[in-house]
Amino acid sequence: MLNSVLLLAEAVVYFSVMVTLFRFRKRIGLGVFVCALGVMHFLETYLASVFYVALPFGMVSPGSAVMFSGKLVMLLLLYIKEDAATVRQPIYGLLLGNALMIGLVLLLRMHAIAPLPDGRSPDIGFIDEMGWLMVWGTTLLFVDAILIILLYEKLGRYLRQAQFARVLICVACVLTFDQAGFFTALHFVAGAPIAVFFGGWFAKMAAALAFSAMLVAYLKWFEARDIQVPRGLTDIFETLTYRERYEALVEHVGRDGLTGLLHRGRFDSDGEAAVQASLRTARPLSLLIVDVDHFKSINDRFGHAEGDKVLKAVASVLGEAASAQDQVFRIGGEEFAILSSRPHSVARLFGESIRHAVKASAATSRFGVTVSAGVSTVSETTHCLADLFALADQRLYKAKSSGRDRVVGEPGGSEHEAAISWTKPAQI
């Protein structure tokens, strides 16, 4: 019982210290975290070859069960929160560093060794044994790291909303593979009995459960919710990294630099596609053009920097008001557009809620910001985005000329009725 409690305590201490170093990576640098991983790699290999404790289900080494399992989880954390281009650095570093150690030991063996004053001589044979175990363990780690990343990404298609299950399955599967591989070397090099395999496997499954729970808790409570996805066999890490950066670039280039909303180019392409889809499927599609009232006077009185803040604040209100099916664009200056799968009357109410939300927003209220909006809906008279835009723009002009701070659509809901009637056969 005492050994089990101590193993759990070791896991908690290991995880706590390592994630603390990781958490402060922006301040102290990621190198501190990576160096700590390297130091622990040597200790875990040493313990795995000579240090075992008895548990009810077999012989267990803290180095293998706790520290190696923890290191694998740390590499997964590094991948999730940074990228594959970063996670490959400690993996390659450990592999090449251990190869270097073997090379240097081969040279050290050629020395004429002077005995110490007490007559002792260094045990080079032990270093040889440790070195080969470390190289084999690091080679397995290289494979483990690729497997856990690929498995993590694969499971993301099915368990994206079940992070704990996703992490646990990844860690448990890879630790099972690693236990088989490392025990094979340990058996031939150090004569480890079969009880070590089964004891180590049970211990690693317990470690997988504990470390997965701690990792998910850390990600949920301490790390920001920015999502890093896949990256970089040229080099699996290079391939994955390229994919992630490409996807990030594609997402970035379609957005307005100031507000982060979709830009005019996306409005032209996505809007035309949405109108044609609405015409084909007879599903409602409305366009709201929203314009900030008297925006020039805000720039003149407070400066362009404050004007930019107003635009970002309005964009934020629009983004919060929009549903997941809506698309919000900045189409120029102080003018925004929203493509919404709402019928006309509901789209007008949506426009009113936006108007009130802008006035109530703390970020815009100190400037007395209001917005006007024009609303149009796909109907038998609008056959393309240009028709829809022209109609909404005409109504925006009417809202401006009739006093601003208002939403103008089709009077009496007749456009909404038209949008419905053109989709059905005429009835007598």
Tokens 């210290």 label which residue?
Answer: 17
| DSSP secondary structure string for all residues of 383-420 | -SHHHHHHHHHHHHHHHHHTTSS-EE--GGGHHHHHHH
Distances (CA, A) of 118 to 109, 121, 329: 21, 9, 80
Give Cα separations from 359 to 20, 123, 369 (angstroms): 43, 79, 6
Strand 286-292: give its sheet, edge to edge. 327-332, 335-340, 286-292, 371-377, 407-408
Query: Hey, what amino acid is at 109?
Result: R
| Residue in the block written with tokens 């640098």 | 29
SS3 for 162? coil
Scanning the structure block, which residue is given the tokens 């009417």? Answer: 398
The span from the CA of 242 to the CA of 381, in Å, is 46
Distance linking the first and last C-alpha atoms of the chain: 85
Q: Residue 6 carries which side chain, given as an amino acid letter?
A: L
Catalytic residue among 153, 244, 334, 335: 334
Cα(39)–Cα(43) distance, integer angstroms:
7
Within 8 A by CB and 6+ apart from 54, the residues are 3, 60
Cα(152)–Cα(149) distance, rounded to whole angstroms?
5
74, 18 in Cβ contact below 8 A? yes
Residue 334 annotated in active site: yes
Count the alpha carbons within 13 Å of 328 in the hemisphere toward its beta carbon: 19
Instruction: Catalogue the active-site residues.
Output: 334
